Amino acid sequence: MAEERLWIKDLRPGTEVEEAFAVRSSDLRQRRNGGPYLALTLADRTGQVAALVWEDAKRVAKLCEPGRVVRVRGQVQRYNQRLQIVVRDAMVVDQEEVDESVYVRASVVDPELLWRGLLDLIEGVRDERLRQLLFRIFSDPEIVEPFKRAAAARTMHHAFRSGLLEHTLSMTRVGKTLAQHYRLDEDMVVAGALLHDLGKVWELELGATIEYTDDGRLLGHLPMEVLYVDRRISELEGFSAETRRQLLHILLSHHGEYEYGSPRRPKTPEALLVHMVDNLDSKVSGMLQIIAEGGETEDAWTPYSPILQRFVYRRRPPSSEQPDSNDS
């Protein structure tokens, strides 16, 4: 019988640790009084935890490269309301012994079920040329399997296997509903939402951690998806120049603001809606993930989230299914 693993979600102050974790970040720093120390972020599929190496930091830093899996020995401490592991020693785990599913979680929904939902949305597109474009893209072998397994981000939201598919389906469904509410071009919103993060299949790669590819670092997912989609549009006869212009604008503007890496800000109602729904789905999903990850169950508040730039209140509203206390 396999030895039971110590998961990050189960760490408590005072726990002695001897376990393998994936290295998400590694930063060799200088102490105020001189001498180096190593700050790490270690992870498994249940969450992540900060770790510090005070002794022999330079040697350990060479072992703890991001993307590697290392077995660490140390102790869990609480500092500033956050758990951290003080690492006494570390060793690299042989890649052949690494089960990637231990370190990067997967969507709780069957990706084939998610994929069926995506195809159903394409079938509902009334514009013949847009529907044809979407079917061509989402039947391309270069796209299908990578899209089914890709993560939507490294850390912020849907940072797990099939996260891109889950996020895309969720925001497209919400976008479709809101397009109907605001009487916008529903087909354009659906197409833009389905394609808005297509370039993530080339930007990110899955292993024991989620890392950027060389193309991801040099080009980014927005330019890569725009180039790809524009090439597929050029293969279709009779595709409207106006439809092309507005669809590519959605892809180029879906980050919303220049400071968030958006080459253009949304300048059509459909582009604005896709941006807002993308932001909504990523932020709400990210907050729910922070609530679910780590921490002690009795804590009312999560640790401070650098990504959301706030603490998050864990306690959920009383269920509407519970009887009112005033009922007889």
- Write the pLDDT tens digit of every residue in 75-126: 999 887 788 999 999 999 998 899 988 998 888 899 999 999 999 999 999 9
**Average pLDDT of every residue of the chain:** 90
- Any idea which fold 105-288 has? Hypothetical protein af1432 (1.10.3210)
| Cα dihedral 288/290/296/300 (nearest 10) | -60
| pLDDT of 153 | 87
- Write the pLDDT tens digit of every residue in 156-213: 788 888 999 999 999 999 999 999 999 999 999 999 999 999 999 999 998 888 999 9
The full DSSP string for 69-81 is EEEEEEEEEEETT
Whether domain 8-101 has CATH 3.30.450.40: no
Neighbours of 305 (CB within 10 A): 14
Give the H or E element holding residue 132. Answer: helix 128-137
Please check the confidence at residue 69 and state whether its pLDDT lies above 90.
Answer: yes
* Phi–psi pair at 123, nearest 5 degrees: -60, -25
Predicted confidence band at 322 (pLDDT cuts at 50, 70, 90)? low
What average pLDDT does this structure show over 50-64?
93
Domain boundaries, the chain: 8-101, 105-288
| Long-range Cβ contact pairs of 215-218 (< 8 A, separation 24 or more) | none
pTM metric for this prediction: 0.84
> Is-contact 90 71, C-beta < 8 A?
yes
- Write the pLDDT tens digit of every residue in 253-298: 999 888 788 889 999 999 999 999 999 999 898 888 888 775 555 6
Classify strands 82-92 and 47-53 as parallel, antiparallel or unpaired: parallel
More confident residue, 300 or 320: 300
Predicted confidence band at 237 (pLDDT cuts at 50, 70, 90)? very high
Burial (0-12, 13-18, 19+ Cβ within 10 Å), 265: middle
What average pLDDT does this structure show over 57-70?
92
